[in-house]
Structure formats: structure tokens, C-alpha cells
Amino acid sequence: MTKNLLILFLGLMCFSVSMAQTEEEQEQIKQELQAEKAAKKDSISKIQKRIDAIDAKLSAIPAGWEFGAFGTVGFSISEFNNWYAQKSPNVSSGKIGITVNAFANLDKEKFFWKNAGNVNLQWFKFDDKDDPDDEDSFQQATDVFNISSLYGYKLSDKLAVSALGEYRTTLLSNFNDPGYLDVGTGITWTPVTNLTVVVHPLNYNFVFSDEENIYESSLGAKILVDYTRQIGRISFKSNLSAFQSYKSSDLSNFTWINSFNYKLWKMIGVGFEFGLRGNKQEALDYAISQTPEGETLPTFDTVDNDLQTYWLLGLTYNF
């Protein structure tokens, strides 16, 4: 019995020594692995610092040309037969509208060059089937064409000496009659990435028209504000272009166009655009054309310079 106990005791001692050696070996291996891990972490940290330094240098390099465009197509068609509740019970009508907004921008370390264009065309149809003399085809409704080019030499990250050329007219009818060309110089302020504010106190507004007794070119100040932003699926653009004539407020004008787009699926979305314009020369031209022969013609002092507006809602496609 005593012999058996002795053998058991010796066995336990050997097992304990073996376990102790195993724990020591495991602890040593653990320490070696932790040391290797720390060394690799240090290496990864150094590599990341080098990568961050390279990224910073890449970010400091101005990008090249950036292009973009999106358009809106809106349409509606309707037909009424024997609908006696309305004045014209037999009518077919429709409306089609197309807008395109495009830009091409170049941003370098010392200068920038920003180019933009906007086109808005709309047609409508109202065919009274009981009136054989009415117009039964689509007629032109809205006609807007605007292009601009802004060049700036940077004085700082936010200020630049700039020159602007902007041209506005219609495309479908009376092209360049009237047409407006602004050419001027001054300062451009870019407080944030998406906002451009142009203030040109030296600007000449060339006006082209066959009605020289109404339209007149003049010297004045040009203000242009453009804000373009994309947040998730939503993108929008707001552009205000205003000219203040030094000769007479009758020769001043402004156009403010706002475009919104919500992406539904891939490149397809829903878009909404509305525009505002104030132009007393155009208001006088229209009022004179609507005055019956023999009546006194309106003048700048008597004409109503009502606010011009348009809007379009429809599907959009982003290029």
C-alpha cells in the first residue's frame, strides 16, 4: 500500500512539473507573439503615416476638368369629349417641356475656369374641336437659353480677380432678338466649395434687337450667384444673374433659375425647375406688340413690369 502511494505521489509530482513547464512555455510563446504583434502594429502605423502624407499631397493637387449635366422632361396629354361642364366640351390638350443644365469646370492652383449652360423649352397644345379656326398644333411656350464662362486668377483660397462673359437669348423664335451679352471684370468670392459669388462693378451689357427704340446697351454692375449641391439622392442648383445699369433702372434686368432633382433609380429621377425674371425692356416690347393700332403706345413710365415666371415638373435623367 505504501509502495503504491509512493508511486502515485511521484506521478503527481512529474505531472505538476510537466504542467509547470508547459505553462512557462505558453507564457513565453505568448510574450513572443505580443512582441511580434506590437512590432507589426508599429510598422502598420508608419506605413499609414506615409500613406496619409501621400494622400495629403494628392489632395493639394487641383483636379482637372469636371463635366456634368442633368435634364428634365415633363409632359401631359388630355382629351375631353362632350364634357359640358366646361366652356369647351370637346378639347384635346397637351404640354411638353425639356430642360438641360450642364457645366464644365477647371480648377487649378493659380486659376479656375467655370462654364455653365441652361436650356428650357416648352410647347403646349389646346385644340377646341368645335372651333375650326383655332390653332390645333403644339405652340412654343417657354424658350430660355443661357451660357456663361467665368475665369478667375486666385488671390487667395477664397478670392480671385475674375472676368465673366454671359449670353442670354431664345432659341426657337426671335433668336438674338433680343439677345444679351454681359462682359465685365471684378472679384469672385468662393466662401465654400459649392458657392460662387461674382461681383463685377465694371460690366457692359450689350443688347441685340431690331427694336432699337426699346432695347439699349449700357454700362453697369454685374452680380452672379451660383450654388450647386448634392446630398445623397437629392441634387439642386440655384443661379441668380443680375445686371444693374448705371444709366437707368429701366435697362436693368435679372434672371433667377432653380433646379431640383431626386434620383429614383439609377440615372432616372424626378425633377422640378422654376425660373423668375424681371426685364422692363421686354415688358415694354410685349406691351407695344399687344396695343391695338391707333391707341397710345405705352412707355417705360407707363408699362407694367410684371414678374416673369415659369416652372416645369417631370422625369429627369442624369448624364
Write down the pLDDT at residue 67.
86
Query: What's the longest Cα–Cα distance across the chain?
Result: 144
- Average pLDDT estimate for 121-132: 82
Write down the pLDDT at residue 53.
73
* % helix, strand, coil for the chain, step of 5: 25, 50, 25
207: β partners: 180
Write down the pLDDT at residue 136.
73
- Average pLDDT estimate for 28-47: 70
CB 95 within 8 Å of CB 314: no
Residue type present at position 246: Y
- Higher-pLDDT residue of 295 and 1 is 295
pTM over 0.95: no
pLDDT at 280 over 80: yes
C-alpha cell at 264: 429614383
The separation between CA 195 and the C-alpha centre of its own chain, rounded to angstroms, equals 10
Rounded to whole angstroms, the Cα distance separating 58 from 50 reads: 12
| Phi/psi at 89 (5° precision) | -75, -20
pLDDT at 14 over 60: no
pLDDT confidence band for 215 (50 / 70 / 90): very high
- Average pLDDT estimate for 38-67: 69
Rounded to whole angstroms, the Cα distance separating 84 from 107 reads: 62
Residues above pLDDT 70, as percent of the chain: 84
pLDDT at 38 over 90: no
Bond into 132 cis (ω within 30): no
pLDDT confidence band for 24 (50 / 70 / 90): low
Rounded to whole angstroms, the Cα distance separating 246 from 269 reads: 43
pLDDT at 17 over 50: no
Write down the CATH number for the domain with range 66-318: 2.40.230
* Chain position carrying cell 452680380: 223
CB 113 within 8 Å of CB 106: yes
Residues above pLDDT 90, as percent of the chain: 35
Write down the pLDDT at residue 2.
57
